[in-house]
Amino acid sequence: MEQILDCEIFRKLVHAKKRTIVYTNHAIAQARKRNIILDKEGMIPVFERDLSEKPYRVVECESENPKERKFKAYYQASGGGFMVYILVLNSQTRLISTYKTSKKLQQKMYDYEKSTVRRTKRK
Protein backbone atom coordinates (compact mmCIF):
# COMPACT_ATOMS: atom_id res chain seq x y z
CA MET A 1 0.00 0.00 0.00
CA GLU A 2 1.33 3.42 -0.92
CA GLN A 3 1.41 6.25 1.59
CA ILE A 4 2.69 9.82 1.53
CA LEU A 5 5.87 10.33 3.52
CA ASP A 6 7.07 13.63 4.97
CA CYS A 7 9.79 15.04 2.69
CA GLU A 8 12.13 15.85 5.58
CA ILE A 9 11.92 12.28 6.88
CA PHE A 10 12.79 11.05 3.38
CA ARG A 11 15.81 13.38 3.20
CA LYS A 12 17.01 12.14 6.59
CA LEU A 13 16.66 8.52 5.44
CA VAL A 14 18.60 9.21 2.24
CA HIS A 15 21.41 11.04 4.02
CA ALA A 16 21.46 8.99 7.25
CA LYS A 17 24.36 6.91 5.98
CA LYS A 18 26.73 6.92 3.04
CA ARG A 19 25.25 4.82 0.24
CA THR A 20 26.52 4.18 -3.25
CA ILE A 21 24.13 5.05 -6.06
CA VAL A 22 23.35 2.14 -8.36
CA TYR A 23 21.41 2.51 -11.59
CA THR A 24 19.48 -0.45 -12.92
CA ASN A 25 19.76 -1.18 -16.63
CA HIS A 26 16.07 -0.32 -16.89
CA ALA A 27 16.61 3.12 -15.30
CA ILE A 28 19.42 3.98 -17.73
CA ALA A 29 17.47 2.67 -20.74
CA GLN A 30 14.34 4.61 -19.78
CA ALA A 31 16.31 7.80 -19.08
CA ARG A 32 17.85 7.55 -22.57
CA LYS A 33 14.50 6.79 -24.19
CA ARG A 34 12.87 9.74 -22.41
CA ASN A 35 15.73 12.12 -23.30
CA ILE A 36 16.76 12.65 -19.69
CA ILE A 37 20.34 11.63 -20.53
CA LEU A 38 22.34 11.20 -23.72
CA ASP A 39 22.94 7.77 -25.27
CA LYS A 40 26.60 7.79 -24.20
CA GLU A 41 25.88 8.56 -20.52
CA GLY A 42 25.89 5.74 -17.97
CA MET A 43 24.62 7.74 -15.01
CA ILE A 44 21.84 10.26 -14.40
CA PRO A 45 23.39 13.51 -13.07
CA VAL A 46 20.01 15.20 -12.53
CA PHE A 47 19.03 12.37 -10.13
CA GLU A 48 22.21 12.81 -8.09
CA ARG A 49 21.63 16.57 -7.93
CA ASP A 50 17.95 16.22 -7.04
CA LEU A 51 18.72 13.69 -4.31
CA SER A 52 20.49 16.42 -2.36
CA GLU A 53 17.46 18.74 -2.68
CA LYS A 54 14.11 18.61 -0.91
CA PRO A 55 11.51 16.74 -2.99
CA TYR A 56 8.05 18.13 -3.63
CA ARG A 57 6.32 14.88 -2.66
CA VAL A 58 7.43 11.40 -1.58
CA VAL A 59 5.30 8.30 -1.64
CA GLU A 60 6.49 5.14 0.10
CA CYS A 61 5.57 2.07 -1.93
CA GLU A 62 5.27 -1.54 -0.96
CA SER A 63 8.52 -3.43 -1.41
CA GLU A 64 8.88 -7.12 -2.18
CA ASN A 65 11.92 -7.30 0.11
CA PRO A 66 11.39 -6.51 3.81
CA LYS A 67 15.05 -5.36 4.14
CA GLU A 68 14.57 -2.45 1.78
CA ARG A 69 12.29 0.55 1.41
CA LYS A 70 10.87 1.64 -1.92
CA PHE A 71 9.89 5.22 -2.78
CA LYS A 72 8.47 7.34 -5.54
CA ALA A 73 9.99 10.83 -5.21
CA TYR A 74 8.71 13.87 -7.11
CA TYR A 75 11.09 16.78 -7.75
CA GLN A 76 10.12 19.95 -9.57
CA ALA A 77 11.70 20.00 -13.02
CA SER A 78 12.93 23.07 -14.79
CA GLY A 79 10.47 23.91 -17.54
CA GLY A 80 7.49 22.66 -15.54
CA GLY A 81 6.24 19.30 -14.45
CA PHE A 82 8.09 16.92 -12.17
CA MET A 83 10.96 14.47 -12.42
CA VAL A 84 9.80 11.27 -10.78
CA TYR A 85 12.28 8.75 -9.44
CA ILE A 86 11.38 5.26 -8.31
CA LEU A 87 14.14 4.18 -5.96
CA VAL A 88 15.00 1.64 -3.32
CA LEU A 89 17.01 2.27 -0.17
CA ASN A 90 18.92 -0.47 1.60
CA SER A 91 22.72 -0.59 1.79
CA GLN A 92 22.62 1.23 -1.57
CA THR A 93 20.47 3.85 -3.24
CA ARG A 94 19.15 1.96 -6.26
CA LEU A 95 17.31 3.86 -8.99
CA ILE A 96 14.69 1.63 -10.60
CA SER A 97 13.15 4.06 -13.09
CA THR A 98 12.70 7.73 -13.88
CA TYR A 99 10.29 9.80 -15.94
CA LYS A 100 8.99 13.32 -16.42
CA THR A 101 5.41 14.27 -15.70
CA SER A 102 3.30 16.76 -17.53
CA LYS A 103 2.41 20.28 -16.43
CA LYS A 104 -1.19 19.08 -16.23
CA LEU A 105 -0.33 16.54 -13.53
CA GLN A 106 1.74 19.15 -11.73
CA GLN A 107 -1.28 21.48 -11.62
CA LYS A 108 -3.49 18.67 -10.27
CA MET A 109 -1.00 18.05 -7.47
CA TYR A 110 -0.92 21.76 -6.59
CA ASP A 111 -4.74 21.90 -6.59
CA TYR A 112 -4.92 18.82 -4.36
CA GLU A 113 -2.39 20.39 -2.00
CA LYS A 114 -4.46 23.58 -1.76
CA SER A 115 -7.70 21.71 -1.07
CA THR A 116 -5.99 19.62 1.63
CA VAL A 117 -4.66 22.74 3.33
CA ARG A 118 -8.10 24.37 3.25
CA ARG A 119 -9.76 21.31 4.78
CA THR A 120 -7.12 21.14 7.52
CA LYS A 121 -7.57 24.83 8.42
CA ARG A 122 -11.35 24.44 8.76
CA LYS A 123 -11.06 21.70 11.39
- Residue-range definition of the domain harbouring residue 46: 3-122
HSE, CB side, 13 Å, CA atoms: give it for residue 57: 19
Q: Tell me: pLDDT of 122 over 70.
A: no
The pLDDT score that the predictor gives to residue 111 is 78
Number of domains in the chain: 1
User: Where on the phi/psi map is residue 121: left (φ > 0), alpha (ψ -120 to 50), or beta?
Assistant: alpha
Q: Tell me: pLDDT of 95 over 60.
A: yes
The pLDDT score that the predictor gives to residue 102 is 74
For range 27-41, the mean pLDDT: 93
d(CA 42, CA 70): 22
In the chain, the percentage of residues whose pLDDT exceeds 70 is: 93
Task: List Cα–Cα distances, 98 to 39, 49, 119, in angstroms.
Answer: 15, 14, 32
User: Where on the phi/psi map is residue 59: left (φ > 0), alpha (ψ -120 to 50), or beta?
Assistant: beta
d(CA 34, CA 27): 10
**Ordered alpha helix ranges (H), the chain:** 7-15, 25-33, 45-51, 103-122
63-78 pLDDT per residue, tens: 999 999 999 999 998 8
Q: Tell me: pLDDT of 100 over 60.
A: yes
Model pTM?
0.84
Neighbours of 8 (CB within 10 A): 11
